[in-house]
Structure 1
Amino acid sequence: MSTPFHLRRYHADDEDAAIALWQQTWQQAYPGIDFAARAGWWRARWRNELVPEAAIIVAEQTEVLIGFVTIDPKGYLDQLVVSPAHWGSKLADALIDEAKRLSPECINLLVNKDNARAIRFYARNGFLPVGEDVNPTSGRPVLRMEWKP
C-alpha cells in the first residue's frame, strides 16, 4: 500500500520545490532537452505568468511536493506535473479532477504530439482532440485538447 497524498493550494514557499519538480519531470519525459538550462526562464514564467493568474494545486506526500496542476480563469491547463516516481498512480487523475472542479465548464490544453503517454492519459480523462498547433516557445507540434462535462 502506498503512502497517501493530499492536495492543497500552492503557497509562495513551494516555489523552489515546484521548479525542481518541473525540471525533473520534464527531463525524464524528454531526456534530449537540457531543462536545467531552461530553469531560469521557467522560474520567471512561473512567477510572472502562472502564479499571478492561475489556480495552482499541489500534491504532497510526507511533506514532499510530488505534483501540481495549474488552471487559469479561462480554463487553460498550462501544467500538469507528476513526479516520475508517481507516474501510473492515481495522482494525475486526482489533479485532473481538481482542475475540473476549479473549471467545471471547460478545460483546454496543449500537449506535445510526440507525448503519446500524456495524450492517452488526457483521452482517458475525457479530453478530445480539437486541433493542432505549434508551441510558440519550443517550436514542437502540439495537439489542442478540450474537456467539457
Structure 2
Amino acid sequence: MMSSCSANITCRDAVIADMTACAGILNRWIDATAWMPRVHAATDVERHYRETVFADRAIIVADREGEVVGFLAQSPEAYVTALYVDERHRRGGVGARLLREAKKRAPDELNLWTFERNADAHRFYEREGFVAVGRTDGENEEGLPDILYRWHAAGGERS
C-alpha cells in the first residue's frame, strides 16, 4: 500500500530491510530524551524489532527518497504500539500522515499509550482526535506513568 505523505515523502508498508532504520529512530529518541530511561541496549532494541515487532505488527514507514524518516507500528488489536519520527523530520506532518494511514487500517478505533511526561505527544494526539481514557502510575517496563488515548471514527470517547 502506498500513498502520498507530503512533498517527497511516501507512506508504505515496511519490509524487513527497514527494521534497522526503525530501531535506529527509536534508539536516537531514547538517547535524546532526558527523562526516558534506557531499559534495553540498542542492539536488544534491534533484535526485538526484528523478532517481535516486524513479525507481529503492521509497520508503516514514512520514506523520503529511500530513507526511512518515521514509522508507526500497529497491533492486530488496533493499538499503535510505536510512532516515532526522526528528529530532522518532526513538525512537518509526517506523524499525522502515518496516523492517517493507521486510521485507514483500523477505521473504527485506535488506541495507544504515551508517557505522561511526553507533553508534545499529548498535544499531537489530542490534535489528531484522540482522547485520554485511562492512566497508570508506571505499570510498564520503564516504570513511568502513562496515559491511554483512544480515537473513534465518530470522534470522542465511547463507553
Task: Compute the TM-score of the two structures, normalised by the length of structure 1.
Answer: 0.90
Q: Which residue of 2 aligns with 1:105?
A: 108
After alignment, is 68-77 or 16-25 more displaced? 16-25
Structure 1 unpaired stretches of 5+:
none
Q: Which has the higher helix share?
A: 1
Compute the displacement of 1:126 (Å): 0.5
Q: Which residue of 2 aligns with 1:54?
A: 57
Pair 1:81-2:77 in alignment: no
2:135–2:148 Cα contact (<8 Å) kept = yes
Q: Which residue of 1 aligns with 2:157?
A: none
Output the CA distance in 2 between the equivalents of 1:104 and 1:113. 26
Q: In structure 2, what residue type is equivalent to 1:102?
A: R
Give 3-state SS (helix, strand or coil) of 1:122's partner. helix
Pairing of 1:1-149 with structure 2 (within 5 A) = 3-28=7-32, 30-31=33-34, 33=36, 35=38, 38-133=41-136, 134-149=138-153
Give 3-state SS (helix, strand or coil) of 1:130's partner. strand
Mark the CA change 1:143 to 1:33 in structure 2 (over 3 Å): closer, same or farther.
Answer: closer
Compute the displacement of 1:15 (Å): 1.5
Q: Deviations over 1:118-146 (max 9, x none)?
A: 00000000000001022421000001111
Give 3-state SS (helix, strand or coil) of 2:61's partner. strand
Mark the CA change 1:137 to 1:19 in structure 2 (over 3 Å): closer, same or farther.
Answer: same
Percent identical across equivalent pairs? 27
Mark the CA change 1:51 to 1:37 in structure 2 (over 3 Å): closer, same or farther.
Answer: closer
Compute the displacement of 1:38 (Å): 2.5
Output the CA distance in 1 between the equivalents of 2:39 and 2:114. 21
Output the CA distance in 1 between the equivalents of 2:67 and 2:38. 21
Q: In structure 1, what residue type is equivalent to 2:14?
A: Y
Task: Compute the TM-score of the two structures, normalised by the length of structure 2.
Answer: 0.84
Output the CA distance in 1 between the equivalents of 2:64 and 2:53. 23
Moved >6 Å (runs of 4+) = none
Structure 2 unpaired stretches of 5+:
1-5, 154-159
